[in-house]
Every structure is written in C-alpha cells, then in structure tokens.
C-alpha cells in the first residue's frame, strides 16, 4: 500500500458531495480495518499542491443509510494513514428561522440522539473516557469561519447540531422538542465522527449545509424534493469553493489545539493486562500510550 508521507488533511463528503473539484486523484486505498470496510475506498491525491484525501460518507453511489455508515472503520483507516485534521461535510435542516436554506453552519456543540451506532473504539478490556465538552476542534472551526467570512458566504458559527438516528425525518413534535432543547440545526451524521475522531486524537470540524427548514416551520412553503435537491446542488457548489480555500490555508498546519492529546488522561490502564489481539486492533489509536 502506497501512502503519501505528508498527507494530513481529509474530507468526508455527505449527501451531494461525492467528488472534490480540482482534485488530482493518485490512489484509491482499500484498507481492512477491525471495524470492517470503509464507506468506499479512501481517495488520496493532490489539490493545489497539497496531499489530501477524501471519503464519500454514504459510499460512491450513496448506498449507505446514516445508520449504516461504518464510522469506526472510516476514522480508524484515516488514523492509520496519518490523518490529523478531518472535516466532515453534511446536509442539515434548520431549527431556527434566522438560519436559512443555503446558509453554511460551523457547529460548536452536539446533541447526540442516535441510538444504534458504534460510537467508541474502546470496550472489551480497554476503557477510556475522552472529554466531549467541546465536540469540535476549536482551531479548525475558527479557520473555517474565517474563510467563510472572507469569502462573503452566508454562514453561522457557534451553533448546536442535533443528530438523529433517521432515516426518517423528525415528527412535528420532535422538531419542536429539539428547538426547545437548544438545537439550531438537525442532521443524521456527524456525532459518531466527532466522538471517534476525538478518541483517535484527530482534529475534527463540521461544515453543515442547510437544505431546508425542518418540519417545525409551518409558515414556510412545504418542502418538496425538487427544492431540497436544488438547494443541495447550490450548497455543494459553495462547499467546493470553501474546500478549495481550506486546502490553500496554511494555518491548518499549526498545532494550536488539544485534540492531538485527548487520550493522554482518558485511558484507564494502570491495572490493565491487555491481550495482544486487542492491542493490535487498537494499535493506530493507542500506540502512543500502550506498547
């Protein structure tokens, strides 16, 4: 397997984002992980002279439900090739009137309301409790917000993303409940990526593209699939522009956050006698701490 030595930045594409513009693909990595296959091969290559990689979250042909995405395999594989910065792009609904369709949101908080997904690398003999008080990398998120400002793109930051299991959208009562809980936008991915990336000591931030108002807003025209698809296409065009600027931004190379040490006080290993198969399984995640 050929791996670029200086590849550090990866993107996970959500609904509508299955390729990156101006990306010269070099390899398609098929990595076997202890958590199964990744959503698709990991595409590595160059964009504006920088080595990056990309995975379409729902597969190349959008064949995976949000509940079926192999989040642990994706993060494990990205960690194993040396990724330190990860940006997940996803389509969301808005729970607040001032967050309009076609706006971009950089969330800083999560409410995870999913209930049947693998959300941790740990267990079966090795225990860790990482902090999730700030579920996104503050430095990476700040960089994204700065780029959105400089590109004059309508956006919001410091918002709370509610993640539901899906695949159905919320009921009217649920949509109102999430608003009362403090949610600003709502989606079906992101929570597991945020948790697993934190355990893997990878900086992770999210770009949420608003396609519609969730069903709470009865004053709006009823959302049709044509409106959602049209908004999704416009959002993807904007996010491609955003990604171009992210790749060109050198500040992403600095180490101004604590993500890379998130396991340092989280592993409970003083009394531990680990079996070798578990150490092998978690090797890319814990090799810094356990020999």
Stretch that binds Zn ion, among 86-94, 117-125, 251-259, 266-274 (CB under 5 A): 251-259
Give residues 202-221 in contact with Zn ion (rule: CB under 5 A): 203
In 3-state terms, what secondary structure has residue 97? coil
Rounded to a whole number of angstroms, the minimum distance from the CB of residue 137 to Zn ion is 3
CB closer to Zn ion, 42 vs 259: 259
Rounded to a whole number of angstroms, the minimum distance from the CB of residue 136 to Zn ion is 8
Stretch that binds Zn ion, among 31-39, 56-64, 120-128, 249-257 (CB under 5 A): 249-257
Residues with catalytic function: 212, 214
Is 52 a binding residue for Zn ion by CB under 5 A? The answer is: no
Is 164 a binding residue for Zn ion by CB under 5 A? The answer is: no
Rounded to a whole number of angstroms, the minimum distance from the CB of residue 265 to Zn ion is 16
Size of the site for Zn ion (CB under 5 A): 4
Please write down the HEC assignment for all residues of the chain: CCCCCCCCEEEEECCCCCCCCCCEEEEEECCCECCECCCCCEEEEEECCEEEEEEECCCCCCCCCHHHCCHHHHHHHHHHCCCCEEEEEEEEEECCCCCCCCCEEEEEEEEEECCCCCCCCCECCEEECCCCCCCCCHHHHHHHHHHHHHCCCCEEEEEEEEEECCCCCCCHHHHHHHHHCCCCEEECCCHHHHHHHHHCCCEEEEEEEEEEECCCCCCCCCCCHHHHHHHHHHHHHHHHHHHHHHHHCHHHHCCCCCHHHCCCCCEECCCCCCCHHHHHHCHHHHCCCCC
CB closer to Zn ion, 68 vs 261: 261
Residues 167-206, one symbol each (x = binds Zn ion by CB under 5 A, - = not), give: ------------------------------------x---
Is 83 a binding residue for Zn ion by CB under 5 A? The answer is: no
* Of 52, 232, 259, 286, the one binding Zn ion by CB under 5 A: 259
CB closer to Zn ion, 210 vs 252: 252
CB closer to Zn ion, 109 vs 240: 109
Give residues 114-143 in contact with Zn ion (rule: CB under 5 A): 137
User: Distance between CA atoms of 39 and 138, rounded to whole angstroms?
Assistant: 27
* Of 31, 132, 257, 290, the one binding Zn ion by CB under 5 A: 257
CB closer to Zn ion, 54 vs 136: 136
Cβ-Cβ contacts under 8 Å for 255 (sequence gap 6 or more): none
Give the footprint of Zn ion on this chain (CB under 5 A): 137, 203, 257, 259
């Amino acid at each position: 397997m050929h791996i670029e030595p200086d590849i550090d930045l990866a993107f996970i594409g959500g609904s509508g984002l299955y390729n990156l513009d101006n990306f010269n693909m070099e390899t398609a990595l098929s990595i076997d992980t202890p958590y199964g296959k990744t959503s698709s091969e990991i595409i590595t290559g160059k964009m504006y002279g920088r080595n990056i990689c990309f995975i379409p979250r729902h597969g190349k042909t959008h064949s995976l439900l949000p509940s079926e995405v192999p989040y642990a395999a994706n993060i494990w594989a990205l960690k194993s090739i040396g990724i330190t910065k990860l940006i997940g792009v996803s389509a969301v609904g808005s729970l607040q009137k001032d967050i309009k369709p076609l706006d971009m949101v950089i969330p800083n908080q999560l409410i995870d309301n999913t209930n049947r997904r693998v959300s941790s690398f740990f267990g079966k003999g090795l225990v860790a409790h990482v902090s999730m008080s700030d579920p996104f990398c503050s430095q990476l998120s700040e960089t994204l917000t700065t780029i959105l400002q400089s590109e004059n793109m309508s956006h919001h930051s410091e918002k709370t993303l509610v993640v539901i299991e899906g695949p159905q959208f919320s009921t009217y009562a649920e949509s109102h409940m999430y608003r009362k809980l403090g949610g600003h936008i709502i989606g079906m991915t992101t929570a597991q990526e945020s948790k697993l990336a934190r355990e893997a000591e990878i900086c992770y931030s999210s770009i949420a593209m608003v396609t519609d108002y969730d069903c709470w807003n009865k004053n709006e025209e009823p959302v049709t699939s044509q409106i959602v698809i049209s908004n999704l296409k416009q959002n993807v065009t904007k996010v491609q522009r955003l990604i171009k600027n992210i790749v060109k931004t050198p500040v992403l190379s600095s180490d101004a956050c604590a993500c890379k040490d998130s396991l340092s006080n989280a592993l409970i290993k003083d009394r531990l006698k680990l079996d070798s198969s578990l150490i092998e399984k978690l090797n890319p995640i814990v090799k810094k701490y356990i020999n």
